[in-house]
């Protein structure tokens, strides 16, 4: 607790829960890696310490500030805690960071670079400066009189996201290894796609082509045809431009079938934890398959006519076997995963 901030503590706690849930014991730390993404790293902690510095001088600042705020603080502290000596990779790919971490770890395991990986995202951004910065670019909802209903993906009245904090970590391992130790398998990561808009720092490419290419690349790597997808977990940030552009991207990939594939968009329930959210959403997609239930899109009062997708205010019974989990981030970063339900 003394040598870490909230950001790293979330990473360690989520990793511990993941290892416990998987029943996974790290016996050879050389053959395990850590991939964790975060948009802002320890920025909120840095802001707090900056205030201390101004009010009380340098002696009031935590001695380990310099090594607590950089993005790699998450992965390196996890490695220290659990004795992991394989690849240690942090990324700051904005709101797609967690999805990118999972995708890169998936490929490392598939290539045989490691036998297993801890992969996920973490964010602890709740501070006045961070809130102010995102408010300046009109990214967050101003529905302050009704905060519980402020995040409303694909709704005609959406005006931005509600910021959240937290972490999520997956244990990724070879399928044969998981079978050998009789692990509880939530699903398979089958493909990963990553593209950039090269268009604008805060505005998505209007024609959705780069986002569509990320989804298409994930499908291609998975060997899955577009008409095999039975569930799409949308980024659904509740921002006016993103939700509309995301709809266009799905129509590019899935054609006329895009309006009939069930959509999951859960940020109205858990908020937007920036780099961590894509991990939560991938996990929720796997759980939707496991429990044969597609979660509702809360706060959807009147769907935007430009977002003419298969949106539902209520939970739905379904048995999707193959899904896409999609993420987007500032700077025009697009990341997508193809997920399969576990084989019987």
Catalytic center residues: 95, 235, 272
What does the angle CA 262 – CA 307 – CA 165 come to, to the nearest 5 degrees? 75
Identify the three-state secondary structure at position 126: coil
CA distances to 232, 282, 296 from 344, rounded to whole Å, are: 22, 20, 26
Structure tokens at 103: 């995708």
Cα(148)–Cα(328) distance, integer angstroms: 23
Mutual orientation of helices 6-22 and 72-82 as an angle, nearest 10°? 50
**Helix (H) or strand (E) segment spanning residue 60:** none
Using CA atoms, how far apart are residues 321 and 47, in angstroms rounded to an integer?
Answer: 44
C-alpha dist (Å) from residue 261 to 99, 210, 278, 336: 21, 20, 20, 16
* Residues contacting residue 274 through CB under 8 Å, at least 6 positions apart: 38, 39, 40, 94, 95, 97, 123, 125, 163
**What single string gives the DSSP state of each residue in 238-256?**
--HHHHHHHHHHHHHHHGG
Q: Is residue 96 within 8 Å of residue 12, measured between CB atoms?
A: no
Q: Please give the Cα distance from 62 to 44 (Å, whole number).
A: 14
Q: Rounded CA gap, 34 and 171, in Å?
A: 10
Backbone angles phi, psi at 304, to 5 degrees: -60, 125
Q: How many CA atoms lie within 13 A of 23 on its CB side?
A: 9
């Amino acid at each position: 607790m003394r040598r870490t901030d909230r950001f790293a503590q979330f990473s360690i706690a989520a990793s511990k829960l993941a290892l416990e849930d998987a029943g996974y014991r790290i016996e050879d730390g050389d053959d395990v890696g850590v991939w964790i993404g975060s948009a802002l790293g320890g920025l909120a902690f840095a802001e707090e310490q900056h205030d201390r510095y101004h009010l009380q001088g340098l002696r009031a600042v935590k001695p380990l500030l310099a090594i607590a705020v950089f993005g790699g603080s998450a992965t390196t502290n996890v490695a220290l805690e659990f004795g992991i000596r394989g690849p240690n990779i942090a990324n700051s790919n904005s709101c797609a960071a967690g999805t990118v971490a999972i995708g890169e770890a998936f490929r490392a395991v598939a290539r045989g670079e490691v036998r297993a990986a801890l992969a996920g995202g973490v964010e602890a951004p709740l501070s006045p400066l961070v809130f102010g910065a995102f408010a300046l670019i009109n990214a967050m909802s101003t529905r302050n009189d009704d905060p519980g209903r402020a995040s409303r993906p694909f709704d005609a009245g959406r005006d931005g996201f509600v910021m959240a904090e937290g972490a999520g970590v997956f244990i990724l391992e070879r399928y044969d290894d998981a079978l050998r130790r009789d692990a509880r398998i939530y699903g398979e990561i089958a493909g990963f796609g990553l593209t950039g808009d090269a268009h604008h720092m805060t505005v998505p490419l209007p024609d959705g082509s780069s986002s569509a290419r990320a989804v298409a690349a994930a499908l291609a790597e998975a060997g899955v045809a577009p008409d095999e997808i039975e569930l799409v977990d949308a980024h659904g940030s509740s921002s006016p431009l993103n939700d509309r552009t995301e709809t266009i991207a799905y129509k590019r990939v899935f054609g006329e079938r895009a309006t009939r594939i069930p959509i999951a968009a859960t940020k109205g329930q858990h908020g937007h934890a920036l780099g961590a959210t894509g991990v939560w959403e991938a996990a929720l997609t796997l759980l939707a398959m496991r429990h044969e239930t597609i979660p509702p899109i809360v706060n959807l009062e009147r769907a935007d006519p430009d977002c003419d997708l298969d949106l539902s205010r209520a939970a739905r019974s379904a048995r999707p076997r193959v899904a896409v989990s999609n993420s987007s981030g500032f700077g025009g970063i697009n990341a997508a995963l193809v997920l399969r339900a576990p084989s019987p």
